Amino acid sequence: MSPRKRAALGAAALTALTLTGCAQVLEQADRFLLEQGGHMVGAVDFDEVDRDDPFSGSPAADYGVGFDTPEAAAEGDFTAEQVEWAQDRTQLFLETVYLDTDAVFDEDNSEFTGLLTGQSLEWYMDNLGHEDPELDSRHLPFNLTPGTAELIGDEIRVDGRMWAEQAQDPYGQDYLAVRTEYVVVYPIARPGAPVSTRLVVTHLGEVSFHDRGDGTLEAWPNWNRGVAPAHCLPDQFTFTPSFPDERPEGEQPRGRTQDAYDLEDTREWQGCASVEGT
């Protein structure tokens, strides 16, 4: 595939990568509260997460702790060995994006960048800070706004699946797609404060692998995500968690209340939505 075609593909892929932040519905807002400095204080306990058992009472209590790969088999023109390599590479991408706490909490995306090669790396670096936010490659990593949250405990829970299949790009060229659908859950607290929640990330997308012509593959990540509870702030590539003592900032939630753990709900998200407690 020509560099121009690959660059065009990358740009087209990113048009779908709109940031989706979801402000949590405050179930206790009818209690006696006082607003102070943008946070609500009063009769409500805002420490929602059991610090000793942070996934208790949530669907994540039954989740695993990593991105497992399925058994590899040949797919179309791609050998079982190529599929196995692609699935392992996809696993590394997901681990560096979602399980590397330096990336998630401190905005250090060097491990992710290190997995890109050739034209995909060139495209990623050239489009960092693109004037059109929808084409900015900064959408690919997952970063919380530094200083806004800290992980409770040392576990991040994961549920979902990946699978490989041969696909065809808009130019009629075959490639190997490793499809990915996951829910990733972080128990987080506001640093130094007795305020906590579970942040739920729903991830949908793929890593596209194109044959360079010599049997080796080049990876092009392409995905979108929903994040809740988070403030829906415009033109911001980091996500700012919305803790239970805060009112929504930025764009206000609209539409029906959705389940933050439901991948099918994520497919329907447009902009900012309301979510149930996480």
Question: Dihedral sign, CA of 240, 241, 247, 248?
Answer: positive
90-134 residue pLDDT tens: 999 999 999 999 999 999 999 999 999 999 999 999 999 888 888
Q: Does 9 have pLDDT greater than 50?
A: no
The H-or-E segment that residue 81 falls in is: helix 80-94
Residue 221 CB-density burial (10 A; 0-12 exposed, 13-18 middle, 19+ buried): buried
Is residue 181 within 8 Å of 204, Cβ to Cβ? yes
223-277 residue pLDDT tens: 999 999 999 988 788 999 999 998 888 888 877 888 899 898 878 776 788 887 7
* Mean per-residue pLDDT over the chain, rounded: 85
pTM: 0.86
153 Ramachandran zone, left/alpha/beta (phi>0; psi -120 to 50)? left
Q: Does 41 have pLDDT greater than 90?
A: no
- Where do the domains of the chain lie? 3-275
**In which band, very low, low, confident or very high, does the pLDDT at 44 lie, cut at 50, 70 and 90?**
low
Helices 118-126, 3-14: inter-axial angle, 10-degree rounding: 50
Q: Does 64 have pLDDT greater than 50?
A: yes
The alpha carbon of residue 50 and the mean position of all alpha carbons in its chain are separated, in whole angstroms, by 24
Residues 6+ apart with CB under 8 A from 154: none
Q: Does 13 have pLDDT greater than 50?
A: no
Range with lowest mean pLDDT among 7-16, 34-43, 105-114, 212-221: 7-16
Q: What does the block give as tokens for 198?
A: 């579970």
As a residue count, the chain comes to: 278
User: Quick one: average pLDDT of 186-197?
Assistant: 96
**173, 199, 207: which is closest to 261 by C-alpha?**
199
Is residue 167 within 8 Å of 182, Cβ to Cβ? no
Residue 252, number of CB atoms within 10 A of its CB: 12
Rounded Cα distance, 116 and 95, in Å: 14
Is residue 149 within 8 Å of 176, Cβ to Cβ? no
Is the model more confident about 154 or about 250? 154
Is residue 158 within 8 Å of 98, Cβ to Cβ? yes
